[in-house]
Amino acid sequence: MSHLIAPSVLSADFTRLGEDIEMINQSEADWFHIDVMDGVFVPNISFGMPVLKAIKSMSKKPLDVHLMIVQPDRYIQDFKDNGADILTVHYEACTHLHRTLQAIRQAGMKAGVSLNPHTPVDVLIDVLDEIDLVLIMSVNPGFGGQKFISRTFDKIRRISQLRDEYDKSFQIEVDGGVNEGNVKSLIDCGADVLVAGNAVFGASNPSNMISKLKNIK
């Protein structure tokens, strides 16, 4: 299966958010990637429920919601009610990860787990049965435009190895510093879903850039 492209709405122009959402709708993108930050787990604040609900009302593609917040269990149903199709929580923010993942699935969403750059992928071995997606952060979470951390390639290879070893089918997603120069290498390591923020919205023609990223083999 061809890799998926999920433009990060955090990098969009908020003065013309509706136009950027429609651009993604009409493009070759597969998902909307939406970063939710609380100013506690990461040193930044982003979207709340009203913005998520507004994006859902306009979107024609799944909403891939990445929670960079503490106590995500408190809001699982709220994110479902406001349009999330995939809900990803951070391993580092969940005291009872197994229970959190089960709750996400029970609410009717796909369940994802994200790992910060310093967290080894082997910590997920005991919850692989509950995971639909593993999101490997290739920058430190909280801000766009950071430099890609090269150690990410090894982490993708390792989680891909675990997927094969345990005969699982979860998707591997990469977020941070994704661009034309590293897409092929990421795919070759085993990545299935690529989040692109500045690479898309910093381009002179974002729709064309999505097409380029989508069609790199």
Domain boundaries, the chain: 4-215
Q: Report the pLDDT value the prediction gives residue 47, as an integer from 0 to 100.
A: 82
Q: Report the pLDDT value the prediction gives residue 217, as an integer from 0 to 100.
A: 83
* Global pTM value: 0.95
Q: Is 175 annotated as catalytic?
A: yes
Active-site residue identified among 20, 30, 85, 175: 175
Q: Report the pLDDT value the prediction gives residue 148, as an integer from 0 to 100.
A: 86
Please report, as a single letter, which amino acid is at residue 46. S
Q: Report the pLDDT value the prediction gives residue 169, as an integer from 0 to 100.
A: 96
Q: Is 78 annotated as catalytic?
A: no
Query: Do residues 186 and 178 touch, judged by C-beta distance below 8 A?
Result: yes
Active-site residue identified among 30, 35, 64, 85: 35
Q: Which two tokens stand for residue 156?
A: 């993708």
Cα distances (angstroms) measured from residue 20 to each of 34, 79, 114, 200: 13, 22, 26, 11
Query: Do residues 84 and 59 touch, judged by C-beta distance below 8 A?
Result: no
The three-state secondary structure class of 197 is coil
CATH class of the domain at 4-215:
alpha beta
Q: Report the pLDDT value the prediction gives residue 140, as an integer from 0 to 100.
A: 83
pLDDT mean values, one per 10 residues, the chain (217 residues)? 92 93 98 94 86 96 96 96 97 96 98 96 97 94 72 97 97 95 96 96 97 93
